[in-house]
Amino acid sequence: MNVQEEIQKLRKELEYHNKRYYVLDDPVISDYEYDMLMQQLKKLEAEHPELITPDSPTQRVGGKALSQFEPVTHQVPLESLTDVFSYEELFAFGDRMDSLLSDAHDYVVEPKIDGLSMSLEYENGVFVRGATRGDGVTGENVTENLRTVRSLPLHIENAPERLIVRGEVYMSKSVFEALNAEREITGEPLLANPRNAAAGSMRQLDPKIAASRKLDIICFNLQYSSDGGYTTHAETLDAMKAMGFPVVPYTRYDKIRDCVERIEWLGENRGELAYDMDGAVIKINSLAQREALGSTAKAPRWAVAYKYPPEKKESRVLDIVVQVGRTGVLTPKVMVEPVRLAGTTVSAATLHNQDNIDRLDLRIGDTVLLQKAGEIIPEVLSVNKDKRPAEAVPFKLPELCPACGAPVVRDPDGAALRCTNPECPAQQLRNLAHFASREAMDIEGLGISVCESLLNAGLVKTAADLYYLEPQSVAMLDRMGEKSAAKLIAAIDRSREAGLARLLCAFGIRQVGQKAAKELASYFSDLDELMEASVEELTRIPDIGEITAGFIRDWFDKPQSQHQISLLREAGVSFASKEEKKDDRFAGLTFVLTGTLQHFTRDEASAVIESFGGKASSSVSKKTSFVLAGENAGSKLTKAESLGIRILSEEEFAAMIQ
């Protein structure tokens, strides 16, 4: 067997196991055996790069980062659906079908996955292009990000010459919960729901970031096949499943009223499904009848989406526990008697802060009404005071930190209570993980579990200790080994040159995130210069107000901070700034971005504005200089027009930055 034949054999074998694992949920080899096959293929492709093809399983890790997404015109429009919110509306849809269709007709019921709709194009069995829905006619080319989705087949055996499939990219509930748990530890804002997380991942210009998010896809419509030959929607779903696509489960019914059985089953069991869903889709099964019914300007006449109402249930408060976050904020969490809510068992919900507890007048022993915000995160809606026990007393957050016993203080600018001890043990793991995170020093391989292992082994206490680690000590950790340890040490070494902006973000100074850190690094040449700055000088920097300047000054004045900086200096961590302003053409100008931009992400456009000395704001006011408006711009555009603010098209904005 020659090298090319061996590569083809390995690719075919890996795609078979991908299908068994991701589509059929029935793996026949261990993860280790799969990894060994992948390593063999990577080795052969590295030795023979001329044999690498886009549909190789090795290409799922994410390639070169893009500068922008190209527009794609859909060959078959990706239409939206008409929503119905009651069985009366559903039966009215059935009555319309009865009046419009003289022949017998049946229905297909499917779960409505709450993800990001995609068009997937194949030529001679090879995945060649994937695009977002966009406005239904024009979407964005996200092919490289889609290649990283493990459940998407990159190659199909015995496929038609041209094939277009419609699917929904989603983040599974388990992956979403793990991602949010990690973000909570590192002090990042929690993601609202799996759909937003999936959409944000697909819009990353760097495919490696999309790959790290472990997205999935499920397909629900055959948009086009050069072979044709199908008569019903059910046939197309079965055909797509046979080709290797993960396909939405479906049930057929002859009468519209019989569909209620499946709709109710899906509603009751949606918590058991891997994906988030917000309704059930009811479609005419016959493709010929669909063609005859056609579409309105917005949606097909032959389908509707039944939307489930939010589920609310009562439960009794067993306790209120207080956790300490990375920045020292005390966060109360209510523990309740376990109750089934939107398909899962809920035993806890966040209370945010003391003000929220006071607003609800919530007490231990109370009966509360619960709901899942965005169908995912449990929250307390109200207290049933008629069921309050006589002995229940108002709850107050402690005056001393529950983790270290240090005094807590209330933020002067908000409702949060905060531990005053910068070396509080509850903050160690969170601080270390934040320091290594992608937004900060970007130390690859130093995730939550490795940080925890390093702390438990006593190898580090603070972030500065990372730069004094020895490979042999790291190799002794669980699930590490010599190679992994060497890679981690190399990644830590590389982070020494991350630059001032990343270092400032890594410090975890209050109100100094990525944006403020870049502003500071654009103004000061190095950390030593910044350390000498007064509050007055700091407030002259765009977006650095008096409160933030005070937090910066207080942080640098702490002995613990100065000790950390001296250790980082001794370790050879660069304090120099890498940020450069092109010029100050936008100095004093404020831009607001709205709608979907075709040639920039919002982050990219904001970065360009800031690099020219301008400010990117999230809200329109009389102080707004320009509004950069993309497609489907909403209330911000309306408000800007009412205030007489100049509206920029992307073309006008591009001319301004040339």
In a domain, 400, yes or no: no
Domain boundary among 12, 30, 52: 52
Rounded to whole angstroms, how far apart are CA atoms 157 and 126?
Answer: 9
Kindly state the tokens that stand for 105: 């007709």
Shared domain check, 213 and 271: yes
Question: Which residues does the annotation mark as catalytic?
Answer: 112
49-56 contacts, C-beta under 8 A, 24 or more apart: 51/3, 51/4, 51/7, 54/126, 54/127, 54/128, 54/147, 54/154, 55/11, 55/126, 55/127, 55/154, 55/155, 56/11, 56/154
Indicate which CATH number applies to the domain containing 42.
Answer: 1.10.287.610
Angle between helices 87-100 and 259-269 (to 10 degrees): 140
Contacts (Cβ under 8 Å, ≥6 apart) of 311:
341, 342, 371, 372
Indicate which CATH number applies to the domain containing 332.
Answer: 2.40.50.140
Domain boundary among 371, 394, 417: 394
Shared domain check, 255 and 224: yes
The DSSP letter of residue 382 is E
In a domain, 417, yes or no: no
In a domain, 58, yes or no: no
Evaluate whether 492 touches 469 at the Cβ level (below 8 Å).
yes
In a domain, 584, yes or no: no
Please report the DSSP string for 86-153 in residue order: SHHHHHHHHHHHHHH--S---EEEEEEE-SEEEEEEEETTEEEEEEE-TTSSEEEB-HHHHTT-TTS-
Residue type, 88: E
Shared domain check, 370 and 274: no
Shared domain check, 488 and 358: no
Averaged pLDDT for residues 287-308: 92
Which structural domain, as residue segments, surrounds residue 483? 425-497
**Where is average pLDDT lowest: 89-93, 297-301, 460-464, 628-632?**
628-632
Averaged pLDDT for residues 504-510: 90
Shared domain check, 346 and 302: no
Shared domain check, 552 and 599: no
The rounded mean pLDDT for the chain is 87
Shared domain check, 477 and 338: no
Shared domain check, 272 and 162: yes
At 183, is the pLDDT very low, low, confident or very high (cuts 50, 70, 90)?
Answer: confident
In this predicted structure, what is the pLDDT of residue 452?
87
Rounded to whole angstroms, how far apart are CA atoms 162 and 450?
Answer: 46
Indicate which CATH number applies to the domain containing 554.
Answer: 1.10.150.20
Name the region of 92 (left: φ>0; alpha: ψ -120 to 50; beta: rest): alpha
In a domain, 293, yes or no: yes
Indicate which CATH number applies to the domain containing 594.
Answer: 3.40.50.10190
* Residue position matching structure tokens 């001393």: 400
Domain boundary among 570, 602, 621: 570
Strand partners, 319: 335
Evaluate whether 219 touches 246 at the Cβ level (below 8 Å).
yes
Shared domain check, 224 and 118: yes
Least Cα distance to 180 among 390, 350, 400, 413 occurs for 350
The pLDDT of residue 208 is above 90: no
Per the structure, the count of domains in the chain is 6
Distance from the Cα of residue 50 to its chain's centroid: 35
Shared domain check, 114 and 243: yes
Shared domain check, 510 and 636: no
The DSSP letter of residue 495 is G
In a domain, 411, yes or no: no
Q: What is the DSSP pairing of strand 303-307 with strand 277-284?
A: antiparallel
Rounded to whole angstroms, how far apart are CA atoms 301 and 160?
Answer: 28
pTM of the model: 0.61
416-436 pLDDT tens trace: 888 877 678 888 888 898 899
In this predicted structure, what is the pLDDT of residue 578?
84
In this predicted structure, what is the pLDDT of residue 60?
63
Shared domain check, 231 and 346: no
In a domain, 404, yes or no: no
**Where is average pLDDT lowest: 53-62, 174-183, 430-439?**
53-62
In a domain, 578, yes or no: no
Rounded to whole angstroms, how far apart are CA atoms 286 and 126?
Answer: 28
Rounded to whole angstroms, how far apart are CA atoms 480 and 449?
Answer: 11
